[in-house]
Chains A and B, each alone.
Chain A
Amino acid sequence: MAPLPQVIVENLAKTYRIAKRRTGFLGALGGIARREYHLVRALTGVSFELEPGELVGYIGPNGAGKSTTIKILSGILVPDSGRCQILGKVPWRERAAYVGQIGVVFGQRSQLWWDLPVVDSFDLLRDIYRVPPARYGQSKDTLVQALGLAPLLDVPVRQLSLGQRMRCELAASLLHAPRLLFLDEPTIGLDAVSKLAVRDFIRELNRQRELTVILTTHDMDDIEALCHRVMVIGRGSILFDGTLDRLRASVSPERRLIIEVPPELPLPELALPAARVVKREGEQVHISFDPRVVRPAQLIGELSASLPLRDLYVVNPPIEEIIAKLYGVFDL
């Protein structure tokens, strides 16, 4: 018998009631008790499943329902309807038992004690999660080594740089060896070097420990570097769920051919209707084409016949453009 999926989410729906504020002097003075509400449908029916060890990117524009989903999955919020079974438990029904097995990193908020050295926060988390001393020592040593935290342990959290703090946050959320990790914008505001370090660590973590990771981010480089599978949410439901390649194909089948020619050379008119020049930068000319209509060999053949090509390669369009297009398709 095949093992059950680790995360089963079926038809989650959630609607918020938001109070309106009135403006102006009279509005402010009038009616202390009366309030008007409008309804915001944050989730309209979200379903997906995750297998153990998957690393999935969960993306979508602001207000699309990303953080509502994460809150429900991490046991913070109770949905209006729908089913959710994670690690064999319903998150909001057995909160304490459930959250002991997950780790959560909120990129914008700290879980460390601001005025204390990092190691004190770790020790306190050990007690909160009831980690046995031997396992804690081992777990801490591994994380300290993997994230290079040794010089930071005795520094008060408030003195850490954002990048240093995020490394500590990652360690803090893993001390109790969770089986599922939620990363909510873990690279937000980080410098390039710290971003790379965080990404490397997450990738290794997922590979070595078979840890399931759900990653939300606005940084498409995170997705490109880490995720095989991507889920896109918009207007409260999942618009796309599949591999990054399929996402590219579904939105736009376009490929890019980049050729290098002498910069001063005039370009010939392309005879092929499905290919066009999109950009020219110095020696590089970017040509976009639809591989379903134009075979790359055909295109290259035609170009090399009329131009002295120095070099050429075919690439995928950048993921930012794909996502922008996808949001455009769904009018988000």
Chain B
Amino acid sequence: MMDAVRLYCRYVGVSVRAQMQYPASFVMMTIGMFAVTAVEFAWVWALFSRFGTLQGWALPEVALLYGMVHIAFAVAEAAARGFDIFHRQVRGGDFDRILVRPRSTVLQVIGMEFQLMRVGRLAQALLVLVWAVAALGVRLTLGRALLLVASILGGGFLFAGLFVLQATLSFWSVESLEMVNMATYGGVEAGQFPLSIYRPSFRNFFLFVIPLATVNYLPALAIAGKTDPLGFPVWLQWASPLIGILFFLMSLLVWQVGVRHYTSTGS
């Protein structure tokens, strides 16, 4: 296990060094990403300045959701980038190379690239989150702070799990990847706003199929000290990180099925 962690760190180091070959372009790209995501948030702000509230949610509360989901997504995009771009590897036959090396496929794929540029999105989301917590006017107790950090981690695992599922799908067909993309980007999009504004079928989707609400909406209620208009039990608000990790572990099982399919068809 420690050995695997050490190898992962080596992979990250190598990847970062490769990206730092062009420092100027890296800085430009990061700033660009920061600016683009900042404008995205400005649009949310514009909607609030026009409509006032969103079904009883004020801007700082929605900003909390926004910050949490985007930080989680940025972390997953940086760390699990290897799975995100995996379809290219499969197509080029580079997965063969991974199979002839004596390490787990998951470790090797995840080590393929650590996308440092995502600090642009991360920084922007972090700023929004800090502002949100300050503007909320709730006391950030140790419990709440821990829950915040843990649910962001859980969210990172959940998005990483989605990337793993997307990569798994590409063992069969690279054409249908958009399906998972839909869940991922749709999840980010939907997660920026409170679950309660969506129709029940959508709520159930984000609770039970891709449990994004459990690492975003539910813990955010606990952190912001809001009562849940949907009436879910309070313990669920605190269980979120576990659910994200569970989702990730399950996606790894599905991945193994994909690898088995690949080794029996060689497609």
Contacts and interface: CB of A to CB of B under 8 A. Distances in A.
Touch test A–B (CB under 8 Å): yes
A76 interface: yes
Contacts of B104: 96
Contacts of A97: 102
B65 to A, nearest CB: 36
B100 A130 contact: no
A99 B266 contact: no
- Among B6, B108, B266, which residue has the most Cβ atoms of chain A within 10 A? B266
Interface string B98-115: 011111100010000000
Interface string B69-104: 000000000000000000000001110110111111
B263 interface: yes
Nearest to A184: B96
Contacts of B266: 16, 68, 71, 76-77
Main secondary structure of the interface of A (DSSP, over half): mixed
A109 B120 CA distance: 33
A135 to B, nearest CB: 15
Nearest to B263: A78
Contact of B101 (A17, A99, A109): A99
Contacts of A71: 96, 266
Nearest to A42: B266
Interface residues of A, number: 33
A124 B100 contact: no
B14 interface: yes
A265 interface: no
- Among B7, B14, B19, B108, which residue has the most Cβ atoms of chain A within 10 A? B14
A115 B18 contact: yes
A109 B93 contact: yes
Interface of A: 16-17, 68, 71, 74-78, 92, 95-100, 102, 104, 106, 109, 111, 113-116, 120, 123-124, 127-130, 156
29 contacts: A16-B265, A16-B266, A16-B267, A68-B266, A74-B99, A76-B96, A77-B263, A77-B264, A77-B266, A78-B263, A96-B103, A98-B102, A99-B100, A99-B101, A100-B102, A109-B92, A109-B93, A109-B94, A109-B97, A111-B97, A115-B18, A115-B21, A116-B18, A120-B17, A124-B14, A127-B10, A128-B101, A128-B108, A129-B102
